[in-house]
Amino acid sequence: MAPRIFDPVELLDLIGGDRALLRELVDIAIEQINGQAAAFEVMLEDRAGLTRAAYVLRGVMLNLRAEEAAEIARRIESNAGSPEIKAEIDALDVALTRLENALLEFQRNA
| CATH number of the domain where residue 50 is located | 1.20.120
Domain hosting residue 54, numbered range: 8-109
Does 98 score more than 90 pLDDT? yes
Angle value at C-alpha 79, between 43 and 1, nearest 5 degrees: 115
Lowest mean pLDDT of 23-27, 32-36, 68-72, name the range: 32-36
CA distance 83 to 46: 13
Residue 1 lies in a domain: no
Residue 68 lies in a domain: yes
Residue 55 lies in a domain: yes
Residue 34 lies in a domain: yes
Render pLDDT for 37-92 as a digit per residue (tens, 0 to 9). Answer: 788 888 888 999 999 999 999 998 998 899 999 999 999 999 998 999 999 999 99
pTM for the whole thing?
0.87
pLDDT range class, residue 101, cuts 50, 70, 90 = very high
* Total number of domains constituting the chain: 1
